[in-house]
Structure 1
Amino acid sequence: MSSSKPVLIAGAGIASLLLAQSLRQSGIPFRIFERDASFVFRAQGYRLRLSSEGLDAIESVLDAETFQKFWNKCGKTSGSNGLTQFNAVTGEEIKTHAVPPQALVSRGGKVVGAARGDMRKIFAEGCEDHIEWAKEVTGYERTDDGVRAIFADGTKSVEGSLLVGGEGIRSKVARQLSGGKLKVYDTGARGIHGQAPTTAFKGLGEGVFILRDESRPDGTVSIITNVRPEDMDDPNVEFGWTMAGQPGVIRPPNEDYTIVGKQAADIAKSLTGDWHPRFRPLLDHMIESEAAFWKITCSTPTGVPDWPNNPRVTVIGDAVHSMTPAAGLGANTAVRDSALLGRLLREAGGCRPGVTAAYEKEMRVYASDAVHQSYSGAVRQFGIKIEEGVTPTV
Structure 2
Amino acid sequence: MATSSRKPILISGGGLSALLLGKALLRASIPFLLFERDASISFRAQGYRLRLSAGGLDAIEGVLGPEGFQKFWDICGKTGGVGLAVVNAVTGETIEQMNPAKDAESEKTEGLPRPREQLGSRDGKIVGISRGDMRKAFMTGCESFIHWSHRVTGYELTSSGVRAIFADGSKSVEGEMLIGGEGIYSKVSKQLSEGKLKTYDTGARAIHGQAPTSAFKGLGEGVWRMIDESKSNGKVFVMTNIRSGDMDNPEVEFGWTMGATPDVIQPPNNDYAIIGKPAADMAKDLIKDWHPRFQPMFQQMVDSESSFWKITCSTPTGVPEWKNEPRVTLIGDAVHAMTPAGGNGANTALKDSALLGRLLAEAGGYKDGVTLAYEKEMRVYASEAVAASYDQAKGMFGFTFDENTKTI
Q: Secondary structure at the match of 1:38?
A: coil
Deviations 1:22-65 (A, max 9, x none): 11111111000000000000010111000000000000000333
TM-score by length of 2: 0.93
Partner of 2:32: 30
Look up the SS of the partner of 1:103 in the other structure. Answer: coil
Question: Once structures 1 and 2 are overlaid, which stretch shifts more, 357-366 or 232-241?
Answer: 232-241
Match of 1:374 among 368, 389, 398: 389
The secondary structure found in structure 1 opposite 2:343 is coil
CA distance in 2, matches of 1:174, 1:165: 7
Aligned partners of 1:13 and 1:166 also within 8 Å: yes
Partner Cα distance (1:62, 1:134) in 2: 27
Q: How many residues end up aligned between the 2 structures?
A: 391
1:93 match: 94
For residues 159 and 15 of structure 1, the distance between their equivalents in structure 2, rounded to whole angstroms, comes to 22
Give runs of ≥4 in structure 1 deviating > 3 Å: 96-102
**What's the secondary structure of 2:341's corresponding residue?**
coil
Residues 321-354 of structure 1, C-alpha deviations (whole Å, 9 max, x = no match): 0110111111100010000000001111111111
Q: 1:164 to 1:3 in 2, by over 3 A?
A: farther
Bigger mean CA deviation after superposition, 238-247 or 3-12: 3-12
Residues in 2 aligned to 1:214 and 1:159: alpha-carbon distance in whole angstroms:
54
How much has 1:291 moved relative to structure 2? Answer: 1.8
Match of 1:330? 345
Letter of the aligned partner of 2:145 in structure 1? H
Q: For 1:229 and 1:190, how far apart are their aligned partners in 2?
A: 30
Instruction: Name the SS of the counterpart of 1:148 in structure 2.
Output: strand
**Are 1:206 and 2:221 matched, yes or no?**
yes
Q: 1:186 touches 1:298 (CA, 8 Å); kept in 2?
A: yes
1:364 aligned to 371, 379, 403, which one?
379
Distance in 2 between the 1:18 and 1:3 partners? 23
Q: Which residue of 2 aligns with 1:344?
A: 359
CA distance in 1, matches of 2:14, 2:179: 11
Q: What root-mean-square deviation, in Å, do the aligned CA atoms of Structure 1 and Structure 2 show?
A: 1.5
What is the CA distance between 1:258 and its match in structure 2?
2.4
CA contact (8 A) 1:207 1:227 kept: yes
Q: Is residue 2:407 matched to residue 1:393?
A: yes
Counterpart AA for 2:7: K
Q: Deviations over 1:174-198 (max 9, x none)?
A: 0000000111111010111111110
Give the one of 54, 59, 75 matched to 1:57.
59
- Tell me the SS of whatever aligns to 1:62: helix
CA distance in 1, matches of 2:364, 2:245: 43
2:109 match: none
Residue 184 (structure 1) aligns with: 199
Q: Find the counterpart in structure 2 of residue 218 from structure 1.
A: 233
Unmatched segments (≥5 aa) in structure 2: 104-115
Q: Quick one: which of 238, 262, 280 aligns to 2:277?
A: 262
Distance 1:251-1:10 versus aligned 2 partners, 3 A rule? same
Tell which deviates more after alignment, 36-45 or 71-80: 71-80
Give the secondary-structure state (helix, strand or coil) at the position aligned to 2:301.
coil
State TM-score, norm by structure 1: 0.97
Q: Aligned residues: percent identity?
A: 65
Distance in 2 (alpha carbons) for counterparts of 1:189 and 1:18: 29
- Which structure 1 segments of 5+ residues have no match? none
Query: How far did residue 265 of structure 1 move?
Result: 1.6
Q: What residue is the counterpart of 2:12 in the other structure? A: 10
Which residue is 1:107 aligned to?
122
Give the whole-Å Cα distance in 2 for the aligned partners of 1:39 and 1:84: 34
CA offset digits 1:354-391 (Å, max 9, x no partner): 10000000000000000000011110100011111x21
1:144 is paired with a residue of what secondary structure?
coil
Assess if the C-alpha contact under 8 Å between 2:46 and 2:305 holds in 1.
Answer: no
What's 2:70 paired with? 68
| Aligned counterpart in structure 2 of residue 197 of structure 1, from 205, 212, 236 | 212
> Could you say which residue in structure 1 is the equivalent of 2:262?
247
For residues 269-280 of structure 1, the aligned pairs below 5 Å read 269-280=284-295
Q: Shift of residue 3 of structure 1?
A: 8.2
Matches of 2:251 and 2:195, distance apart in 1: 46
Q: Aligned to 1:370, what secondary structure does the other structure show? A: helix
Structure 1 residues 69-84: aligned runs within 5 Å: 69-81=71-83, 83-84=84-85
Matches of 1:60 and 1:267, distance apart in 2:
40
Helix, strand or coil for the counterpart of 2:203?
Answer: strand
- Is 1:66–1:122's contact at 8 Å kept on the other side of the alignment? no
Among candidates 104, 113, 131, match of residue 146 of structure 2:
131
Per-residue CA deviations over 1:260-308 (Å, capped at 9, x if unaligned) read 2222222211111111111111112111222221110101111100001
Write the letter of the residue equivalent to 2:53: S
Give the Cα–Cα distance (whole angstroms) in 1 for the partners of residues 275 and 381 of structure 2.
34
Q: Equivalent residue of 1:328, what SS?
A: helix
